[in-house]
Structure 1
Amino acid sequence: MSGRREPVPFAFLAEADRFRSNVTPPPPERASAGQIAGRWLLGLTVIAALVGSLVIGMPALSLDQAPPQTRQSQATEHR
């Protein structure tokens, strides 16, 4: 922070980082068994969806080793 001590408007905002509260927040609520099971189920669903999309999309991402064979027309075969 700056070293000047002259009064500024809203000086309480400048000193807000030094403020300490004597009020303690309440402890967080513990998750119930249903909530924990729901979180696990949601996580497994997301992972299964990602794996499924990867499995389905792999054929489209693979590179063919040999170029596709084109059939010659019958007109060029009889020459």
Structure 2
Amino acid sequence: MFRRREPVPFAFVAEAEQFRSNVTPPPRERAGTGRIVGRTLIGLTVVAGLAGSLLFGLPAMQPTQSSGQTQQSQAAEGR
């Protein structure tokens, strides 16, 4: 195996590829019903907020040419 020639301040960094642990982490705790329902409600709230912003934001972003033409035509008639 390739050995580094330059000094490494922490030996375990240089030997990290060879290190294998025999300690297994504890099993993950299962989420309870309340936690699952809470996460679902938060997700639905975020999705509803994004959908609502699109619903109300898209009409505001549409160019309104009819009002601009009406103002110009009224100004031309007034001369």
Structure 2 gaps of 5+ residues are none
Residue 26 (1) aligns with residue 22 (2): no
Aligned residue for 1:17, secondary structure, equals coil
CA distance in 2 between counterparts of 1:44 and 1:12 reads 45
Residue 13 (1) aligns with residue 10 (2): no
CA distance in 1 between counterparts of 2:6 and 2:58 reads 67
Partner of 2:75: 72
- Please identify the structure whose Cα radius of gyration is greater: 1
Partner of 1:51: 51
CA distance in 2 between counterparts of 1:13 and 1:33 reads 42
Amino acid corresponding to residue 56 of structure 1 in structure 2 = F
Amino acid corresponding to residue 20 of structure 1 in structure 2 = R
Size of the alignment, in residue pairs?
A: 75
Alignment RMSD: 2.7
Alpha carbons of structure 1 residues 65 and 20: separation in structure 2 relative to 1, 3 Å? same
Q: For CA contacts below 8 A with separation 6 or more, give which structure has more relative contact order.
A: 2
Which aligned runs of 4 or more in structure 1 are off by greater than 6 angstroms?
none
TM score, norm. by length of structure 1: 0.74
TM score, norm. by length of structure 2: 0.74
Alpha carbons of structure 1 residues 75 and 15: separation in structure 2 relative to 1, 3 Å? closer
